[in-house]
């Protein structure tokens, strides 16, 4: 499924529509090109996601008296499954490029940035949905860093309903430099650990992140980094989640003394935890697996 903006649909030259075209696996079109928005408006920045049966959802930003994030569901043959509906319950004045991710069963999550008053105070928001478009809960704030602008989020989701959101974080509004941050979530939409910085090269501007996720919860983030490779904006990536060092005792090796630290904290859920290798504020089999991989190197 491909979606885009078009100025050729409405008779009003000031209106912009969202159009789409469905394709089969060989690249042949399925049905004609169609308009996603049901009424004339200024519609911008579409994104699309599809489940394993070919049903899909399109999200975009609609500019009216207040900006809004809008979604419409479609069946696998390209027919509309719902009318467009608004995702955000809190108004915002800034321009956002919303992102959507859907898993194989049709559950989906939408993320966007916004603030009721100023773009320089944007936070990252998200909302989870059932396959039929019913919201799981109200919208929630993803970013815990609330100073200056947090913008341009992108999201990925796996078939266990886990998802990860990445975005640009500008801490100092007087400096045109951003970093790439992320936050993981479990199947219920609860955050896993704390938000984390993804880029390790902190000089210059980091922007335009994208992310994909597999069934085990591992993910890859890519972004543009200014000056890191000496040629302007280069493309860089980072695997996640970032696994911490299993050398808990700090003696330069991973051995039974470090295992004793992990065993002492086994099944604990609190923060901080010395043996929390994947930063999810708990010690469980995932930390044990990460520990064993380092112990057996």
pLDDT at residue 208, rounded to an integer? 97
The answer to whether the beta carbons of residues 19 and 36 sit under 8 Å apart is yes
- Dist. CA 218–CA 214, nearest whole Å: 6
Give whole-number Cα distances, 65 to 16, 68, 117, 273, in Å. Answer: 16, 9, 13, 48
Q: What is the DSSP string of 132-157?
A: TS-BSS--EE--S--SS-EEEEEEEE
CA-CA distance, 141 to 95, in Å (whole number)?
A: 17
Residues 47, 157: Cα–Cα separation, whole Å: 15
Neighbours of 169 (CB within 10 A): 24
Q: What are phi and psi of 254, to 5 degrees?
A: -105, 115
pLDDT digits (tens, 9 = 90+) for 233-283: 999 999 998 888 999 998 889 999 999 999 999 988 887 899 999 888 889
Taking only the tens place, the pLDDT of each residue in 184-235 is: 999 889 998 889 999 999 888 999 999 999 998 899 999 999 989 988 899 9
Q: Give all domains of the chain, ordered by start, each with its CATH number.
A: 2-242 (2.120.10.10), 245-297 (1.10.1330.10)
Predicted pLDDT at 297: 78
Cα–Cα distance measured from residue 114 to residue 61, given in angstroms and rounded to the nearest whole number: 11
**Mean of the per-residue pLDDT values for the chain?**
92
For residue 65, what pLDDT is reported?
Answer: 67
Give the C-alpha separation, 189 to 181, whole Å: 18
pTM here is: 0.89
CA distance 287 to 97: 36
Say how far residue 247 (Cα) sits from the centre of its chain: 31
**What is the predicted pLDDT for the residue at 268?**
86
Q: Whole-angstrom distance between the N-terminal and C-terminal Cα of the chain?
A: 44
């Amino acid at each position: 499924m491909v979606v885009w903006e078009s100025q050729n649909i409405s008779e009003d030259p000031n209106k912009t529509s969202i159009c789409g075209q469905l394709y089969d696996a060989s690249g042949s079109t399925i049905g004609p090109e169609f308009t996603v928005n049901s009424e004339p408006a200024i519609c911008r920045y579409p994104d699309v996601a599809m489940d394993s049966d070919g049903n899909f959802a399109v999200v975009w930003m609609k500019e009216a008296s207040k900006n809004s994030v809008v979604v419409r569901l479609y069946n696998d043959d390209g027919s509309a499954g719902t009318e467009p509906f608004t995702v955000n319950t809190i108004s915002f004045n800034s321009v956002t490029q919303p992102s959507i991710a859907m898993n194989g069963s049709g559950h989906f999550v939408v993320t966007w940035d916004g603030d009721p008053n100023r773009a320089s105070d944007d936070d990252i928001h998200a909302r989870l949905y059932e396959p039929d478009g019913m919201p799981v809960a109200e919208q929630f704030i993803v970013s815990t860093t609330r100073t200056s602008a947090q913008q341009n989020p992108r999201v990925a989701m796996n078939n266990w309903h886990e998802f990860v959101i990445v975005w640009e974080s500008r801490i100092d509004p007087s400096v045109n430099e951003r970093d790439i941050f992320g936050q993981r979530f479990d199947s219920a939409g609860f955050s896993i650990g704390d938000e984390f910085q993804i880029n390790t090269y902190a000089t210059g501007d980091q922007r335009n992140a994208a992310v994909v996720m597999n069934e085990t919860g591992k993910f890859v983030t890519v972004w543009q980094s200014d000056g890191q490779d000496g040629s302007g904006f280069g493309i860089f990536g980072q695997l996640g989640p970032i696994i911490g060092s299993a050398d808990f005792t700090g003696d330069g090796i991973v051995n039974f003394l470090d295992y004793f630290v992990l065993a002492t904290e086994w099944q604990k859920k609190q923060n901080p935890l010395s043996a929390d290798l994947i930063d999810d504020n708990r010690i469980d089999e995932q930390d044990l697996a990460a520990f064993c991989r380092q112990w057996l190197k």
